[in-house]
Chains A and B, each alone.
Chain A
Amino acid sequence: MTLSPPKLVCSNVWKLFGARASEKFAAMGHAPSLEQIRANGLVSAVRNVNIEVRTGEIFVIMGLSGSGKSTLVRCLSRLIEPTAGEILFNGENLLAASNAQMVEIRRHKMSMVFQHFALLPHQSVLENVAFPLDVQGMGRTEREARAREMIALVGLEGREESFPRQLSGGQQQRVGIARSLATQPELWFLDEPFSALDPLIRREMQDEFMRLQSALKKTIVFITHDFDESIRLADRIAIMKDGEVVQCGTAEEIVLNPASDYVREFARAVPKAKVVRVSTLMAAPGGRETQGDIASDKTIAEAAPRFRQGATALRVIGDGGRPVGHLLRDDVVALMLGD
């Protein structure tokens, strides 16, 4: 797999809350410890974060409540000014953009979905979805046509004239998603978009989200506190604790090689077969009889049913369609039995 170019690069970003935070930050030598920050009467929300979001990927930021996810994403979108650090958007320094430039970028290049939907209560579904376009000054017929398209995309046709309070939580979030897509942004932030929904609806919305993404191919920064959700959706995951990113990698890397006890604690609950890919477990090719082919980027959980009919080994087909190795029944059983 070739790496796509980075869309959003964030280096050494800090955000401290409190009076005269940036002065105190400089006085502490630009790299304070948690204790130092507290001793200075500041609240640390984001500490020295370095991440890189590549074009077209779903980048999940995962962490418990209060770990600084929202603050980080608000820094990335520059809803708040970071105390220190650099953020490059399409290679340009976002923090140096003027107010007018920021307004332009926000109107056309980024958008956000909120945990509690953030729908305007006095506007109908149609007006809510068209609102970002209205703010840009787009004419009525044009923006309403675009809004109807987006409403259809999230499966809410027929509810255009309803008001937010007449919709269920899941439907309200669909409106939020439609609205955030109306401006056709390149970069899409979602801050715990499904956390306020009950589990069944949440799953349905996750599927819906994946369906949308497979068609739209946006660059996505997705926040969640739910490890299962991040594994289902993520291309890569960054795990946050106390404002720091403690590990960043694919679900597989995190589950197989947790960087700390904190991460291990999350990973323990996840069946390895769901994240480990065939390419990781396969043995070198040759010397065996195989009973079929399997793609190298499938998870073990997806490959396992193939062994039910008595197969002992499968031939693994790589990216280029060439065989790259063998997947052995014994290895799969060992992994699934959990050691």
Chain B
Amino acid sequence: MPGPTSSTFGPWSRRLILVVFVLAFITLWQTGRGALPWAFEYPKGAELPLARWIGQFTKWLLNEATFGLFTFSQLTRFISSVIDLPYRVVLSLLSTGFLSGRGSAAIQLTPSLSYLTVIGLVALIGHHAGGRRLALLSAACLAFVAVFGQWSSAMVTLASIVVAVPLGVAGGGLLGILAYRHRWVERLIGPILDLMQTIPVFAYLVPILFLFGFGPTAAVLATIIFAMPPMTRVTLLALRRVPGELTDLGQIIGCTRAQMTWRVLVPTAKDGLMVGVNQVIMLSLNMVIIAAMIGAGGLGFDVLAALRRLDIGAGLESGLAIVALAIMLDRLSQAFAEKTGAAPAGPGWTGRHPYLLAGLALIVVAGFGGLVVPALQTYPAGAVLTTGTFWSRVVEWINVNYFDDIEAVKNALLLGVLVPFKRLLLDLPWLGVVAALGLLGWRLGGLRLALLAGGLSFLIAALGLWEKAMITVYLCGISTVVAMLIGMPIGIIAAERRGLWRWVQVVIDTLQTLPSFVYLMPAVMLFRVGDFTAMIAVVAFAVAPAIRYTALGLQGVDPNLIEAGRSMGCTPWQLLTRIKLRLALPEMMLGLNQTIMFALSMLVITALVGTRDLGQEVYIALTKADTGKGLAAGLCVAFIAIIADRLIGAAAARARVRLGLAEAVS
């Protein structure tokens, strides 16, 4: 949108403002350090003690807050028990068996489900949802886990997922329904959801740790909170998309409000809702490793421990086990989403519930079998394969043979690109950057955007986190550039070749279902810890949207225009640069936006490999359970994300108007 800028200022005065600003910025940057030191170092005395306030607030919550009928700590205890009880039951089923008594004195009343039973049950579910192929695939995923000796950890992880997903789906869904019914709920939770998707997960681990203590309950809660927002969003969207005629129908036949929701809206919106369920599952799996930091145990703990020991082989195997679970759950939930209508039912109860019956039979038979033959109960230790030493050897071999080459590349990039860029950013005066962001916001979207961009960046300075934020910007910026440099050519090449594009799609879809930690492992193996490793991991994670949006943008270009270009005698190169790339620009900017968001979310995780940015702040706060510090740093990451998102969004909207793809809104 041209906004107020074009109406109040002519092009000349706008250019003049820009020139004056650039000159002022350079003068400040080059000469101001002596004259205006506070423009470079935000004065300590004027800092906002947000971290302290948050810390005091949480202490007050925990010790004194009461809602009249009950205190806040009673509320947290209630929430714990809601999660804890189902978690214990599922864990007993999958892993520990039902116990009587506590600790080492506990006696096992019944054993857990044997590995064969679980594999069989999953295969049955797969068959029910998607036929024989899916049954085989899901069974194979679990068998993989057993064969590589990850079974017991995997069952702990699976238990937390099995508890977190239904609670997340129910909670997110109910919030979505409330938001659909009441506008004010929607207005209230909209910004919160936005913030939750940009704030790094670590940041809200801290208050959860503080309020709920270390352990699986806190971990499951964190998983739920992390995985819920998309469900709410998807629910709201799906309900909105229910045709008005159907809601009219519900009213005219005299549905009560509950009937309207549960008999008309939810069933018709089922397909959309299942997309949300799938997202909850995938996000829960994404949280597995992070949740291990506050006591989830299971595979996540194994990966984390291996990462800390730098035991690459062990970490990789546990990581792959998570991937196997992810693939299995993803395909299963997708199959349920695509399943339509009821299967033809046989006669009688047994005919109507063949799967239930088969499942029960399996549990009984395998249960007795397990009592007699131990190898049927637990996967025999002798048959476990391990590739751990193999991977360690591969890495060793690479390091022995190519150490010098790898180091050379790494050092060249570090010294030639990364370090100078980092210096440059750290050297800039915060005041100038805040002003520049404000000006950019004003040019792109008018006063509101100017205030948002300038205000949020000022807040980062005022919280005393400017330097850390600049390191985050530097790592994120470099990674985004590299990801775009890799992703765009791939997108351009793949866009026009249908066969190739299908393959690329499979690859990037898979990349996106992997938990982000998986990317860290090979990077650490080859490059050890540090900024460079972080960058490699971030690029690997963030390249998928760069590819996807480039290709989608190019494929979306109006074929008539390409035809026109061809008839004017454009060479393929001219066709690409003059027509296609230009028209695909808005879509590609969205790709850039997504790439930045992906990069930021991955960046925080790379704190584990020793970066010095905001992510590290949050991570340290986590280890000390310092709620205030953690949230403040987390908010700063969110601010960076919001600024980037809004500025790029406004730029894309402008580009779309300029290209005549959209109407200007005045």
Which residues of A approach B to under 8 Å, CB–CB? 74, 77, 79, 102-107, 110-112, 114-118, 120-123, 131-132, 134-136, 163, 183, 189
Q: Which of B260-268, B396-404, B491-499 contacts A (4 or more CB under 8 A)?
A: B260-268
CB-defined A-B contacts under 8 Å, sample of 7: A79-B252, A102-B254, A104-B254, A106-B251, A112-B249, A131-B263, A135-B263
CB 8 Å contact bits of B224-259 with A (1 = contact, 0 = none): 000000000000000000010110110111111001
Contact B254 A118 (CB under 8 A): no
Given A118-B245, A135-B263, CB of A111 within 8 Å of CB of B268? no
* Residues of the A chain whose Cβ atoms lie less than 8 Å from the Cβ of B331: none
Cα A318 to Cα B2 with chains together (Å): 74
- Among B243, B246, B253, B259, which residue has its beta carbon within 8 angstroms of that of A111? B253
What mask results when residues 141 to 157 of chain B are scored 1 for a CB within 8 Å of chain A, else 0?
Answer: 00000000000000000
Tell me the nearest residue of chain B to A111, going by C-beta.
Answer: B252
Contact between chains at B245 and A106 (CB < 8 Å):
no
The CA of A120 and the CA of B255, in the complex, are separated in Å by: 14
> By the criterion CB–CB under 8 Å, are A120 and B268 in contact?
yes
Chain B neighbourhood of A77, CB < 8 A? 252
Measured between alpha carbons, how far is A118 from B245 in the docked complex, in Å?
6
Interface residues in chain B, defined as those with a beta carbon under 8 Å from any beta carbon in chain A:
243, 245-246, 248-249, 251-256, 259, 263-264, 267-268, 270, 341
- A116 to chain B: which residues have CB within 8 Å? 243, 245
- Closest Cβ of chain B to A95, distance in Å, is 15
Picked from A111, A122, A135, the residue with its CB within 8 Å of the CB of B255 is: A135
B253 and A114 contact, CB distance less than 8 A: no
Distance in angstroms from B257 CB to nearest chain A CB is 10
Q: Give A48 to B253 CA distance when docked, in angstroms.
A: 28
The answer to whether B259 touches A110, judged by C-beta atoms less than 8 angstroms apart, is no
Q: In this complex, what residue of A is CB-closest to B264?
A: A120
Docked-complex contact B248 and A74, CB < 8 angstroms: yes
> Which residues of B have CB within 8 Å of A107?
253-254
Residues in B neighbouring A163, C-beta threshold 8 A: 341
* A33 to B142 Cα, complex, angstroms: 72
The closest CB in chain B to the CB of A116 belongs to B245
B245 touches A136 (CB 8 A): no
Asked if residues A120 and B254 are in contact (CB atoms below 8 Å), the reply is: no
A105-B254, A131-B263, A134-B263 given; 12 more Cβ-contact pairs under 8 Å: A79-B248, A102-B254, A106-B251, A106-B252, A110-B252, A111-B252, A112-B248, A115-B245, A116-B243, A118-B243, A118-B249, A135-B255
Chain A proximity of B181: nearest CB distance (Å): 15
Q: Report yes or no: A183 in contact with B253, Cβ–Cβ below 8 A.
A: yes
A110 to B249, CA, bound (A): 12
Of the residues B248, B259, B263, contact of A114 by C-beta under 8 Å: B248
Are B254 and A135 in contact, with the CB atoms below 8 A? yes
Top 3 nearest A-B pairs (CB, nearest first) are: A107-B254, A132-B253, A106-B254
Instruction: Check if A103 sits within 8 Å of B245, measured CB to CB.
Output: no
Other-chain residue from A103, A110, A115, A183 in contact with B256 (beta carbon distance below 8 A): A103
A121–B268 CB distance below 8 A: yes
Which A residues touch B253, using CB under 8 A? 106-107, 111, 131-132, 135, 183
Complex: how many Å from CA A112 to CA B254?
11
Instruction: Find the B residue at minimum CB distance from A189.
Output: B252
The distance from the CB of B543 to the nearest CB of chain A, in whole angstroms, is: 39
In the bound complex, residues from chain A placing their C-beta under 8 Å from that of B259 are: 135
**In the complex, what residues of A have CB within 8 A of residue B251's CB?**
79, 106
Q: Are B252 and A112 in contact (CB under 8 A)?
A: yes
| Cα distance A106–B254 in the bound complex, in angstroms | 5
**A107 and B256 alpha carbons, distance in the complex (Å):** 11
- Contact, CB under 8 Å: B267 / A122: yes
Task: Tell me if B267 and A120 are in contact (CB < 8 A).
Answer: yes
**Which residues of B have CB within 8 Å of A123?**
267
Of A111, A117, A122, chain B has the most CB atoms within 10 Å of the CB of: A122
Judge whether B254 and A114 touch: CB under 8 Å. no
Complex Cα spacing A115 to B256, Å: 24
B255 to chain A, nearest CB (A): 5
Cβ of A124 to closest chain B Cβ, rounded Å: 8
**Complexed CA–CA distance, A77 and B253 (Å):** 11
A103 & B248 in contact (Cβ 8 Å cutoff): no
Q: B residues within 8 A CB of A120?
A: 246, 264, 267-268
User: How far in angstroms is the closest Cβ of chain A from B239?
Assistant: 15
The CA-CA distance from A136 to B263 in the complex, in Å, is 12
Residue of A nearest to B253 (CB): A132
Closest A residue to B344 using CB positions = A161
A107 to B341, CA, bound (A): 28
Q: Measured between alpha carbons, how far is A110 from B245 in the docked complex, in Å?
A: 16
The CA of A50 and the CA of B253, in the complex, are separated in Å by: 26
> Roughly how many angstroms separate A183 CA and B255 CA in the complex, as a whole number?
13
Could you say which residues of chain B place their CB within 8 Å of the CB of A136? Answer: 254
- Rounded to whole Å, the gap between the CB of A163 and the closest CB of chain B is 6
Cβ contacts under 8 Å, A189 to chain B: 252
Contact A114 B249 (CB under 8 A): yes
Bound-complex Cα distance A122 to B256 (A): 20
Question: What CA separation (Å) do A254 and B249 show in the bound complex?
Answer: 33
How close is A141's CB to chain B, nearest CB, in angstroms?
18
Flag if B252 contacts A103 (CB, 8 Å).
no
Given the complex, which residues of B lie within 8 Å of A121, measured CB to CB?
A: 268
A122:B268 contact, CB within 8 angstroms: yes
Task: Please give the distance in Å from A86's CB to the nearest CB on chain B.
Answer: 21
Cα of A104 to Cα of B259 in the assembled complex, Å: 15
Q: How far is the CA of A123 from the CA of B255 in the complex (A)?
A: 17
Smallest CB–CB gap between A147 and chain B, Å? 13
Is B270 a contact partner of A122 (Cβ separation < 8 A)?
Answer: yes
Whole-angstrom CA separation of A318 from B256 in the bound complex: 51
Q: How far is the CA of A117 from the CA of B245 in the complex (A)?
A: 8
Give the chain A neighbours of B245 by CB distance below 8 A: 114-118
B3 CB → nearest A CB, Å? 22
Please report the C-alpha to C-alpha distance between residue A110 and residue B253 in the assembled complex, in whole angstroms: 8
Q: Write the nearest CB–CB distance from A109 to chain B, whole angstroms.
A: 10
- What's the Cα separation between A121 and B270 when bound, in Å? 10
- Tell me the nearest residue of chain A to B251, going by C-beta: A79
Q: Which of A74, A103, A115, A117 has a CB less than 8 Å from the CB of B254?
A: A103
Provide the residues of chain A in CB contact with B255, threshold 8 Å. Answer: 135
Q: Please report the C-alpha to C-alpha distance between residue A120 and residue B260 in the assembled complex, in whole angstroms.
A: 12
In angstroms, Cα B254 to Cα A105, docked, is 8
The CA of A134 and the CA of B259, in the complex, are separated in Å by 10
CA distance A102 to B257 in the complex (A): 13
Q: Which residues does chain B contribute within 8 Å of A122, judged by CB atoms?
A: 267-268, 270, 341
Tell me whether A118 and B246 are in contact in the complex, defined as CB-CB below 8 angstroms, given that A77-B252, A79-B251, A132-B253 are known contacts: yes
Shortest beta-carbon distance from B616 to chain A in Å? 49
- B contact residues around A111 at 8 Å (CB): 252-253
Task: Report Cα–Cα, A102/B254, bound state, in Å.
Answer: 8
Contacts of B256 in A (CB 8 A): 103
Q: In the complex the two chains form, what is the Cα distance from A86 to B39 in whole Å?
A: 69
Q: What's the least CB distance linking B97 to chain A, in Å?
A: 39
Closest CB of chain B to A127's CB: distance in Å? 10
Contacts of A102 in B (CB 8 A): 254
| Chain A residues closer than 8 Å to B243, beta-carbon distance | 116, 118
B252 — which chain A residues lie within 8 A by C-beta?
77, 79, 106, 110-112, 189
In the bound complex, CA of A115 to CA of B246 (Å): 11
How far, in whole Å, are A183 and B254 apart by their CA atoms in the complex? 11
Residue of A nearest to B250 (CB): A135
Which A residues touch B270, using CB under 8 A? Answer: 122
Task: Determine the distance from Cα of A110 to Cα of B268 in the docked complex, in whole angstroms.
Answer: 24
The docked-state distance in angstroms from the alpha carbon of A111 to that of B250 is: 11
* A116 CA / B268 CA spacing, docked (Å): 15
A104 CB contacts on chain B under 8 angstroms: 254
- With a CB–CB cut-off of 8 A, which chain B residues contact A134? 263
Separation of A178 and B310 alpha carbons in the complex (Å): 70
Q: Which residue of A lies closest to B257 (CB)?
A: A99
List residues of chain B with CB within 8 A of the CB of A118. 243, 245-246, 248-249
Shortest distance from the beta carbon of B351 to any chain A beta carbon, whole Å: 16
Q: How far is the CB of B369 from chain A (nearest CB, A)?
A: 40
CB-CB under 8 A from B263, the residues of chain A are 131, 134-135
Which of the listed residues B254, B256, B263 has the most CB atoms from chain A within 10 Å of its own CB? B254
Q: Nearest chain-B residue to A78 (Cβ)?
A: B251
Report A64 CB to chain B, min CB distance, Å. 20
